[in-house]
């Protein structure tokens, strides 16, 4: 079975052809994967401009699908089903993919499978490594999401923890912006942090440990002891504000518009990154232990981070819990992962009607 997958939830227009292998332990194979990035367009504005993103998806979608078919040496007639990201994401961007996918499936009279973007990130792990030892604790950490899931059986995802405010990738992007490093922030902070001192600035990391009666119910309350569930949620807006204050303080004596010295910028990047990575991994590994997980997965754009990968490996070695991270090409947004999640759903009997629509916010159940 060959499935054509489409992903347009944010600022990448992506298409992939994913095939079944017939091997239950390693069920899918990527025949082709094309990603047209809009980064150059949005960089000028310091972030993704939704209207520009939608318009660019319209321009790119046909060419990207043609390129995916060509890379696989396949024809339209070889496609047996279509999968598309239904949400969450920018609704105008999602609509382009959904409209294209429905049209393709309708014209060829083949099934269409709507896919949750985060299910795609989670399944990028199985796509790359085969079925994970279950139960698995899987952290999805991207520009829009920081959520921890328990995967107890293939295709069943239960939310255990999530950010109460900013996503980790969003914190990277905002900190890069206030340091004048451009968009997107993750890769450039990752690079500069390697030259900086991570113990120079002690940034605080919010720990949601106490029972605040104004706080919402802890996310993983039905899966974890109450005190563990409370500290499994994430929060990054305080860290971002701490970096902002420090930059304002340090820039006070400089001429208007002048940049901080490069060594100081590198130290801020390293210290910020240490705080983010520690917060992510501490909570993930603690929850994994309580959940009786047999493996840990880390997926999404921020899983491309070199420090996160190295520290996750080190924790894995210490704890005896294997850690799985996708290759970089499957970390950031792509359609191959949507194809993997699409095949998983299709084999579970899920086929979309022609009525389903793009959804800016969509729960993963």
Residues contributing to the site for ligand KG4 (CB under 6 A): 10, 142-144, 169, 172-173, 184-187, 190, 300-302, 304-305, 332-333
Cβ neighbours of residue 291 under 8 Å, at least 6 residues apart? 135, 137, 150, 160, 223, 224
Kindly state the smallest distance separating residue 159's Cβ from ligand KG4, in Å. 17
Kindly state the smallest distance separating residue 299's Cβ from Zn ion, in Å. 9
Q: Which of ligand KG4, Zn ion, none interacts with 173 (beta carbon under 5 to 8 A by kind)?
A: ligand KG4
Q: Which one, 135 or 184, has the nearer CB to ligand KG4?
A: 184
- For residue 259, give Cα distances in angstroms to 130, 244, 263, 281: 46, 14, 11, 32
The Cα 118–Cα 17 span in angstroms is: 19
- For residue 92, give Cα distances in angstroms to 12, 52, 61, 84: 13, 10, 14, 14
Q: Which one, 8 or 142, has the nearer CB to Zn ion?
A: 142
Q: Which one, 198 or 333, has the nearer CB to Zn ion?
A: 333
Kindly state the smallest distance separating residue 253's Cβ from ligand KG4, in Å. 30
Residue 89 near residue 301, CB atoms below 8 Å: no
Query: CB neighbours (10 Å) of residue 155?
Result: 15
Q: Which of Zn ion, ligand KG4, none interacts with 187 (beta carbon under 5 to 8 A by kind)?
A: ligand KG4
Positions in the binding site for Zn ion (CB under 5 A): 142, 333
Q: Which one, 32 or 142, has the nearer CB to Zn ion?
A: 142
| SS3 (DSSP) at 121 | helix
Question: With left for phi above 0 and alpha for psi between -120 and 50, is residue 267 left, alpha or beta?
Answer: alpha
Tokens of 348: 């579970």
Q: Which one, 173 or 333, has the nearer CB to Zn ion?
A: 333
Q: Which one, 161 or 185, has the nearer CB to ligand KG4?
A: 185
Q: Which of ligand KG4, Zn ion, none interacts with 185 (beta carbon under 5 to 8 A by kind)?
A: ligand KG4
Q: Which one, 8 or 232, has the nearer CB to ligand KG4?
A: 8
Kindly state the smallest distance separating residue 58's Cβ from ligand KG4, in Å. 20
The Cα 298–Cα 22 span in angstroms is: 26
The Cα 29–Cα 292 span in angstroms is: 30
Q: Which of ligand KG4, Zn ion, none interacts with 92 (beta carbon under 5 to 8 A by kind)?
A: none
Q: Which of ligand KG4, Zn ion, none interacts with 148 (beta carbon under 5 to 8 A by kind)?
A: none
Kindly state the smallest distance separating residue 93's Cβ from Zn ion, in Å. 12
What are the beta bridge partners of residue 161?
Answer: 148
Kindly state the smallest distance separating residue 179's Cβ from Zn ion, in Å. 24
Q: Which of ligand KG4, Zn ion, none interacts with 304 (beta carbon under 5 to 8 A by kind)?
A: ligand KG4
The Cα 9–Cα 103 span in angstroms is: 18
Q: Which of Zn ion, ligand KG4, none interacts with 161 (beta carbon under 5 to 8 A by kind)?
A: none
Kindly state the smallest distance separating residue 279's Cβ from ligand KG4, in Å. 13
Residue 30 near residue 40, CB atoms below 8 Å: no
Cβ neighbours of residue 29 under 8 Å, at least 6 residues apart? 18, 19, 20, 21
Backbone angles phi, psi at 152, to 5 degrees: -95, -30
Kindly state the smallest distance separating residue 338's Cβ from ligand KG4, in Å. 11
DSSP string, 282-329: HHHHHHHHHHT-SEEEEESGGGG-HHHHHHHHHHHHHHT--EE---HH
Q: Which one, 97 or 135, has the nearer CB to ligand KG4?
A: 97
Q: Which one, 184 or 220, has the nearer CB to Zn ion?
A: 184
Kindly state the smallest distance separating residue 269's Cβ from ligand KG4, in Å. 10
CB-nearest residue to Zn ion: 142
Q: Which of Zn ion, ligand KG4, none interacts with 32 (beta carbon under 5 to 8 A by kind)?
A: none
């Amino acid at each position: 079975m060959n499935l054509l997958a489409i992903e347009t939830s944010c600022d990448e227009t992506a298409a992939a052809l994913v095939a079944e292998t017939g091997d239950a332990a390693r069920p899918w194979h990527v025949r082709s994967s094309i990603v047209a990035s809009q980064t150059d367009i949005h960089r000028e504005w310091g972030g993704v401009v939704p209207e520009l993103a939608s318009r660019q998806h319209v321009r790119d979608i046909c060419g990207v699908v043609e390129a995916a078919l060509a890379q696989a040496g396949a024809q339209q007639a070889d496609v047996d089903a279509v999968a598309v990201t239904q949400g969450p994401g920018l609704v105008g961007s999602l609509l382009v993919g959904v409209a294209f996918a429905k049209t393709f499936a309708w014209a060829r009279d083949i099934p269409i499978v709507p896919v949750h973007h985060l299910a795609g990130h989670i399944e990028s792990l199985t796509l790359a490594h085969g079925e994970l030892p279950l139960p698995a604790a899987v952290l999805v950490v991207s520009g829009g999401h920081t959520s921890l899931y328990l995967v107890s059986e293939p295709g069943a995802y239960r939310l255990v923890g999530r950010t109460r405010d900013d996503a980790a990738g969003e914190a990277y992007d905002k900190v890069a912006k206030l340091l004048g490093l451009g968009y997107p922030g993750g890769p450039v902070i990752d690079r500069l942090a390697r030259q900086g001192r991570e113990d120079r600035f002690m940034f605080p990391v919010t720990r949601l440990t106490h029972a605040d009666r104004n706080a919402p119910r802890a996310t993983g309350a039905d899966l974890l002891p109450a005190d563990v569930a409370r500290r499994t949620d994430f929060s990054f807006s305080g860290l971002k504000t701490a970096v902002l204050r420090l930059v304002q303080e340090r820039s006070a004596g400089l001429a208007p518009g002048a940049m901080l010295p490069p060594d100081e910028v590198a130290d801020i990047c390293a210290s910020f990154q240490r705080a983010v990575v520690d917060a992510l991994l501490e909570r993930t590994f603690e929850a994994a232990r309580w959940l009786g997980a047999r493996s840990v997965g880390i997926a999404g754009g921020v899983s491309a981070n070199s420090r996160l990968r190295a520290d996750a490996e080190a924790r894995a070695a210490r704890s005896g819990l294997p850690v799985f991270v996708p290759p970089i090409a499957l970390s950031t947004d792509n359609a191959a992962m949507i194809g993997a999640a699409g095949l998983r759903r299709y084999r579970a009997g899920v086929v979309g009607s022609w009525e389903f629509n793009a959804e800016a916010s969509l729960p993963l159940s």
